[in-house]
Amino acid sequence: MGWDAIIVGARCAGSPCAHFLARAGKRVLLVDAASFPSDQPMSTHFIQPYGMRVIDELGLGDRVRDIAPPITTLASSCDDIVIDFHIPGGCCPRRIELDHVLLEGARAAGAEVLLQHRVVDVLREQDRVVGVIAEDRDGNKRELRARVVVGADGRNSTIADLVGAEKYFNYIGPRAFYWAYWPRPASFEQRTLIAFRGQNVRLVFPVNRDQIIMGIGFPRDEVDRWKADPRAALTAALREDPAFAPLVDSGEPLTKILGMVKVEYFMRRAAGPGWALVGDAGLHKDPTAGFGITDALRDARNLAAAILEETDAALERYWRQRDVDSLELFNYAGDLGEPDYDNPLTHLIYRKMQHSAELQDRVRRMFERELSPYAIITPGKVIRWTLGAMLRGKLDVLGPFFRAGKRGTEIARELERRKQLVPREAAPTAPKNYLEPSRV
């Protein structure tokens, strides 16, 4: 027996991809080492409005909103400058419930599911991947064959390792993160907050109906101090910001303190003969921007469309276009993850944006994947603002201005190079009742 696709990993990239394919009439097998429901705490849980539209396409939006009511405001602060971006429609469900909803949605659409099986090898015919070997918890192995094998098994992807998918743009994140869940105060609004202060970034997201997740990113060279007593260090660091202190004092943490102390971010080759990668298996960004789940959903939909074409060329086009769609977002997330993001130029931009409805709307368009993060503010405006600040004696904006300009030029140049790698032939349009065309 063979499948059209075997998808290894049944969470927020694998299950949606399987769902789209099963709905299009393909035979799909989802394989995961876990049982479900099971948690995945290494997540901001944040699904941006664009991602919720993909979930709506799957017919699961109301179920997700029932778990986590929609967020009305995305707030960001730099020191004491706070901006409330009115971008309604995102959600922050805990993964133990979200992933289960997505898996059951795929099953209901016709995907077959094999849980508590880990993939230990791939099957090959010459240089082509034609299936996997899966092992159950008793050590029994099964050969499973398919036209395409998809690795949706996270940043430590077994499939990526087995097929030799090379990484690029990879780097070790300069920040470590600690976080936990707290009870949600009755007065807490449906609002996220990402707060930059000094070299740290603090985050709070409302998850489900009665909880919040709070955490902090800090320079990685401080990890040893944090490891001694993570709970004391986390609560003390959160209390240092007046926006977070009342939330910490509203109750005891509901969970143990979780952490990531050394994280690699990367892009990986995402397609080859008989295989493809999706989600964190192929693209792992700094979590500060909260892009991960939304882009996993986007790429799951786009990969499903490529698999429906039934050619290796379509898989390569998916990979190359994913790079084009993601390069600026990947680098922007990396910008936010730098400990020196809180600098005089950022202060200047925040002050200008705080009083500009137009710029705030451009941020909304970035979250809607309609605008590049590097197109929110034109270079001409940044130059004028910088010159104005210097005339007022604020010469400390000059260093970050030149660094940002150099980085922006390098990213633009690399983006043009990546565009040239996308195969030029037009992709057939997938049937409307199966897949909606990507807006990215």
For residue range 245-280, what is the model confidence (pLDDT) as tens digits? 999 988 899 989 999 999 999 999 999 999 999 999
Angstrom distance (rounded) from CA 163 to CA 181: 37
Considering the domain architecture, whether residues 108 and 227 belong to the same structural domain is answered as: no
CB 73 within 8 A of CB 83: no
184-205 per-position pLDDT tens digit = 998 888 889 999 999 999 999 9
Same domain for 18 and 148: yes
Specify whether 13 is located in the same domain as 150.
Answer: yes
- Confidence grade of residue 439 (pLDDT, cut at 50, 70, 90): very low
**Parent domain of 307:** 2-45+94-172+266-333
pLDDT greater at residue 354 or residue 209: 354
What is the tally of helices (H) and strands (E) in the chain?
Answer: 14, 18
Check residue 230 and report its DSSP letter: H
- Highest mean predicted confidence (pLDDT) among 3-7, 180-184, 367-371: 3-7
What distance separates the 2 farthest-apart alpha carbons in the chain?
74
Which residue type sits at 392? Answer: R
Claim to verify: residue 166 and residue 186 sit in the same structural domain: no
Rounded percentage of the chain residues whose pLDDT exceeds 90: 90
Share of the chain above pLDDT 70, in %: 96
Total domains, the chain: 3
Separation of alpha carbons 277 and 14, rounded Å: 10
**153-180 core/surface letters (b: 16 or more CB in 10 A; e: else):** bbbebbbbebbebeeebeeebbbbbbbb
Within-domain flag for 39: yes
241, 270: one domain: no
Structure tokens at 350: 């925040």
Exposure b/e, 51-77, CB count within 10 A at least 16 = b: bbbbbebbebbebbbebbebbebbbbb
Q: If you average pLDDT over every residue of the chain, what do you get?
A: 93
3-state SS class at 121? strand
In a domain, 407, yes or no: yes
Distance, CA of 177 to CA of 258 (rounded, Å): 8
Q: Is the domain of 244 the same as that of 298? A: no
Q: Is residue 225 part of a domain?
A: yes
pLDDT at 440 over 60: no
Give residue 190's pLDDT.
Answer: 84
pLDDT attached to residue 43? 86
Q: Rounded to the nearest 5°, which phi and psi values hold at 342?
A: -80, 95
Is 130 in contact with 146 (CB distance < 8 Å)? yes
Q: What is the distance between the alpha carbons of residues 344 and 337, in angstroms, rounded to a whole number?
A: 17
Q: Is 198 left (phi over 0), alpha (psi -120 to 50) or beta?
A: left
Q: Are residues 190 and 329 in the same domain?
A: no
Q: Residues 346-354: what's their mean pLDDT?
A: 96
